[in-house]
């Protein structure tokens, strides 16, 4: 999607002047963000910069202290909005797989569609098997999580998020807990989802991946979106000294 197309599209997610504190610590400071449909927004920055908190606020897992958040034009931070209804439209994948160990892969994936969305067992299982096949896990439906590699468990977590047919997918450092050789298989799934037009926001330390896959990159520092732009702009010609210093350290560490 071109820069002109992105700017013209009505955002799936919009955050305006969002502020979040924990005690006396300000974690997000007047954050503005727009995520157009069918795009990938990458949140980058040092640990503790506010990336994960931003995602948790977007999914209403954390209450904001000021500002507002919209999903497809609906203000979801309005006190009268049912947060559970909003979460049904947003898929989230965390760095911890959070799979139920006593359930098979298929049972993990179909739990939310059946219990939360009222989908029949047959429909839920059919859709789950289709997704498993797409992600190279067709033979793992009856397996238990402890029989899977870390990369396979993370792919199952992504399938579980996709199974509810979300409007928006949020990824929070989904490769952080993986061995290096397993990172590629999970990132390949995200690339495929991008090609299919899924709208995504991902917090990541995988700078090369963010550079290659993101339509929009936001650099967070101290709870502030200090700089934003296309991947080419942020990684090729960052304007803020703090962004330049962060990326220089990433390059020196051989991570970009």
User: Which tens digit of pLDDT belongs to each residue from 58-93?
Assistant: 999 999 999 999 999 999 999 999 999 999 999 999
Tokens 């396979």: give the residue. 152
The 10s digit of each residue's pLDDT in 85-139 is 999 999 999 988 889 999 999 999 999 999 989 999 999 999 999 999 999 999 9
For the cut 80, the answer to whether the pLDDT of residue 7 exceeds it is no
Residue 3: count of CB within 10 angstroms of its CB: 13
Residue ranges of domains in the chain, CATH in brackets: 3-89+167-252 (3.40.50.300), 101-165 (no CATH)
The set of residues, in sequence order, having a beta carbon less than 8 Å from that of 195 and lying 6+ positions away, is none
> How much is the pTM?
0.91
Determine whether 129 is exposed, middle or buried from the number of CB atoms within 10 Å of its CB (0-12, 13-18, 19+).
middle
Give Dmax over CA atoms of the chain in angstroms.
Answer: 55
Mean pLDDT, the chain, rounded, equals 93
- 244 φ, ψ to 5°? -60, -45
For the cut 90, the answer to whether the pLDDT of residue 194 exceeds it is yes
pLDDT at 179: 86
**HEC profile of 135-169:** CCCHHHCCCCHHHCCHHHHHHHHHHHHHCCCCCEE
Distance CA 119, CA 242 (A): 48
């Amino acid at each position: 999607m071109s820069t002109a197309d992105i700017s013209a599209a009505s955002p799936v997610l919009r955050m305006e002047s969002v502020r979040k504190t924990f005690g006396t610590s300000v974690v997000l400071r007047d954050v503005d963000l727009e995520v157009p449909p069918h795009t990938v927004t990458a949140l980058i920055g040092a640990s503790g910069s506010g990336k994960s908190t931003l995602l948790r606020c977007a999914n209403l897992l954390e209450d904001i202290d000021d500002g507002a958040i919209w999903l497809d034009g609906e203000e979801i931070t309005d006190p009268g909005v049912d947060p559970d209804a909003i979460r049904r439209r947003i898929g989230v994948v965390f760095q911890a797989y959070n799979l139920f160990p006593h359930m098979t892969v298929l049972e993990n994936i179909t739990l939310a569609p059946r219990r939360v969305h009222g989908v029949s067992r047959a429909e839920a299982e059919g859709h789950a098997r289709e997704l498993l096949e797409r992600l190279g896990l067709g033979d793992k439906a009856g397996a238990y999580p402890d029989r899977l590699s870390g990369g396979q468990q993370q792919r199952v977590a992504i399938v579980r998020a996709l199974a509810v047919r979300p409007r928006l997918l949020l990824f929070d450092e989904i490769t952080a807990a993986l061995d290096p050789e397993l990172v590629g298989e999970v990132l390949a799934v995200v690339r495929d989802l991008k090609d299919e037009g899924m709208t995504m926001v991902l917090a990541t330390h995988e700078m090369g991946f963010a550079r290659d896959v993101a339509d929009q990159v936001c650099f967070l520092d101290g709870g502030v979106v200090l700089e934003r732009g296309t991947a080419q702009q942020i990684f090729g010609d960052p304007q803020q000294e703090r962004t330049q210093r962060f990326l220089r350290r990433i390059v020196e560490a051989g991570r970009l």
